[in-house]
Amino acid sequence: MSKTEAVKWIDDNESEIISVSDKVWEFAELGLVEYKSAALLADTLEKYGFSVQREVADMPTAFVASYGEGIPVIGVMGEYDALPGLSQKAVSHEEPLVKGAPGHGCGHNIHGASGMAAAIALRVAMETNMIGGTVKFFGCPAEETYSGKVFMVRAGLFDDVDVALSHHPGFLNHAELSSSLAVYSVKFHFHGVASHAAASPDRGRGALDAVELMNVGVNYMREHVIQEARIHYVIEKGGLQPNVVPAYARSWYYVRAPERDQLDPIYEWVLKIADGADLMARTTHEVQFLEGCSNVIPNRGLAELVTANMREIGTPEYTSDEMKFAREIGTTISREDKITQLRQKKRPNWEELLDIDIDRSVLDPWDEGEITPGSTDVGDVSWVTPTMEFYTATSVVGVPFHSWQNVAVSGMGVGHRSLIFAAKVIAGSAIDLLTKPELLKTVREEHIKRLGGRKYKSPIPDDRMPPLDVAREAAESPG
């Protein structure tokens, strides 16, 4: 009965849930400055009986909303940060709402709303059926840029959580068993000496020279690191005009590898290359470590639980207009790109999706031992408690993450269907964990076994605070 009541609450309040998602979609706020988005989610949870602790872990847009008391403690995570430059209307052709403004290219408007709705539905079911325990919703900022959850983990906010659940928009209905890449995010500030680039170049020391020399060194390094590693950068500042030798230049690097013990030596090598750039350009530099996150520790018990709840609830039905919209979005992706995405995902029988726009299937978890080429701060949560972030088919098969197509779909009916489906799956899975102690015990035992005696160590130094100034600067000048 408890699941029925949770699902009924979600169905009865569907319009409000969608409204919250759409408002966050419209706000489209960047990481650590999601003031309106965080407030909307927190206020809604408070309205439905949750006690809310705001501005946690030294982040103004992070919060924890709690209901109930005692054990077990079920955590539900929600994200709400957007991406720069991806503003897009909810139409099937590329057309920004505000040119150059942020947009929800990863569907985090849905991410936050699905978790919020599931937490409230879980509260209703617990209260009606007198189910003991605690549900906590974690409002998690800045997943895309500054790994807000890592600061929350470091602050001990997940220490009492028995299991953490999360949902992310995707193009499949899939509870993953794969891991992810650990990552460090770091900026290099190079300082030289300004001079007239034509009249007295010999008196200048080009900071941009050092940035470019460092980049060349890193690019030669790529051949000699493990295949799974990823290193990418942008030049954020390179000077003001060509006839002035730049006295200041700045690059921003992400360095990734499957495990922290693989990442650390690669990162140390990158630091030495920066030192070498100074020797060649006769500059100096400082390293600004922004944040890092760990790889994901998967959990088969949770993956199978979520998969079972997906099947029990049933995937969404779509209107003819929604399917037409999906077909139109599908025409913006080449068949070759679609094949590449499906092959990379290694979905069994992926060929059957070549002429499909929305994948409504729910397959058994298939990707044990695989490593996805991205990174997520969910990984750090998974080191301290059993964690599952599953995917639902929010977008069209073949559409990449961080694209205008994802923004468009996340703001209309196709995305809304996925949102409601995901909220029901989270609530149903959480009820199973609350009411079946043997299931919770099995999940936690698996977590200990997968850790294999390894202890979590935060990738962020104890004295490193969330980079609020960097975030504000990015929000004020997103271009």
Domain range annotation of the chain: 2-178+296-451, 182-293
For the chain, give the percent of residues with pLDDT over 70: 99
> What DSSP character marks residue 98?
S
Question: From the CA atom positions of the chain, what is the Rg in Å?
Answer: 23
**Average model confidence (pLDDT) for the chain?**
96
**Which residues face 231 on adjacent strands?**
255
- DSSP strand pairing (182-191 vs 248-257): antiparallel
- Judge whether 418 and 394 are in contact, CB under 8 Å: yes
User: What's the helix, strand, coil split of the chain in %, to 5?
Assistant: 45, 20, 35
Q: At what angle do helices 413-435 and 14-27 cross, to 10 degrees?
A: 120
- Judge whether 153 and 62 are in contact, CB under 8 Å: no
For the chain, give the percent of residues with pLDDT over 90: 96
- Judge whether 136 and 64 are in contact, CB under 8 Å: yes
Q: What is the largest CA-CA distance in the chain?
A: 82
The residues of the chain scoring below 50 in pLDDT are none
- Judge whether 86 and 105 are in contact, CB under 8 Å: yes
> What DSSP character marks residue 196?
B
pLDDT at 478: 54
Contacts of 266 (CB under 8 A, 6+ apart): 225, 226, 229, 231, 255, 257
* DSSP assignments along 326-339, one per residue: HHHHHTTS-HHHHH
Identify which of 451, 157, 63, 428 has the alpha carbon closest to the alpha carbon of residue 295: 451
Phi and psi (nearest 5°) for 165? -120, 145
CA distance 361 to 333: 21
Query: What strands, in cross-sheet order, belong to the sheet with 230-237?
Result: 230-237, 248-257, 182-191, 284-293
pLDDT at 479: 53
The pTM of the full predicted model, rounded to 2 decimals, is 0.94
Categorise residue 302: left if φ over 0, alpha if ψ from -120 to 50, beta otherwise: alpha
The CATH fold of domain 2-178+296-451: Aminopeptidase (3.40.630)
The CATH fold of domain 182-293: Alpha-Beta Plaits (3.30.70)
Helix segments in 166-231, DSSP class H? 207-221
The C-alpha torsion from 465 through 469 and 474 to 476, rounded to 10°, is 150
